[in-house]
Amino acid sequence: SDLQKQEERGELLQPLIFILLVLCSVLLYFKVSLMDPGFVKSEEEAGKSEEQSMVIPQVASDIKMRRCGYCMVKQPMRAKHCQLCQHCVRRYDHHCPWIENCIGEKNHPFFIIYLSVQLVVLLWGGHVAWSGLYFEQSWDWLQHNIFLLVSFLLIVIFTIVVLLLLISHLYLISCNTTTWEFMSHHRISYLRHSELENPFDQGVVLNLWRFFC
């Protein structure tokens, strides 16, 4: 049959890989959106001051852990309260409206992997859509290709958004900072009173290693 001939020629391998990538992207989406991003719990209050002083000795010693005015837990350094999630999140990066969850200490690496897989899927889908387009200056051509053309334009827009988001996050990770710290540097006490602009930066290689490993 034609299906067997296509299998023998290896023509079914690429669609199979594409479907697996899409499935992987969907599973990563649900994992990032449903998992605990690093919510601060009351039992985590003890023993954080010593840990913080070992990690960032450049931060001024008079900065103390403050109690959150919303959930009343003591916030570890780099934690922030999210009013949408109603929790303080450790190493808070941002609240993502697309996944309806915070990006924090526990799910940030999975978020980066999700963006990477999503970018591959979009680039592949864009290539397939482009290969199916042949341009003619006629109304009849537009009627028959409008769906494919709109799909290609949407893929291009989403690809640009995902690419810029991935690049910005990788840059911040390489500096060992978060979106929240980058955007609100002047309002965060442990950064405002630090002798260094970024007291968490330990070099690109070590920053990436500690984040992903």
pLDDT (tens place) for every residue of the chain, 213 residues total: 555 655 555 567 888 899 999 999 999 999 999 999 999 987 555 455 444 444 444 454 455 667 888 888 888 889 999 999 989 999 999 999 989 999 999 999 999 999 999 999 999 998 888 877 666 666 676 677 778 788 889 999 999 999 999 999 999 999 999 999 999 988 888 888 777 888 999 999 999 999 998
Distance in angstroms (rounded) separating the CA atoms of residues 176 and 199: 9
Q: Are residues 177 and 116 in the same domain?
A: yes
> Is 84 domain-assigned?
yes
Does residue 96 have an active-site annotation? yes
140 burial (CB, 10 Å; 0-12 / 13-18 / 19+) is exposed
> Is 172 domain-assigned?
yes
Q: Are residues 208 and 150 in the same domain?
A: yes
> Is 136 domain-assigned?
yes
> Is 56 domain-assigned?
no
Q: Are residues 86 and 110 in the same domain?
A: no
Q: Which of 96, 102, 175, 213 is catalytic?
A: 96
Q: Are residues 67 and 106 in the same domain?
A: no
Alpha-carbon 17 to chain mean position = 23
Q: Are residues 87 and 173 in the same domain?
A: no
> Is 146 domain-assigned?
yes
Distance in angstroms (rounded) separating the CA atoms of residues 118 and 163: 9
Q: Are residues 18 and 104 in the same domain?
A: yes
Q: Are residues 27 and 126 in the same domain?
A: yes
Q: Are residues 137 and 207 in the same domain?
A: yes
- CB burial string 66-85: b at 16+ within 10 A, e below: eeeeebebbbbbbbbbbeeb
Distance in angstroms (rounded) separating the CA atoms of residues 12 and 70: 55
> Is 89 domain-assigned?
yes
| Boundaries of domain holding 69 | 38-51+61-98
Q: Are residues 66 and 132 in the same domain?
A: no
> Is 116 domain-assigned?
yes
Q: Are residues 172 and 115 in the same domain?
A: yes
Q: Are residues 189 and 144 in the same domain?
A: yes
Number of domains in the chain: 2
Q: Are residues 202 and 113 in the same domain?
A: yes
> Is 122 domain-assigned?
yes
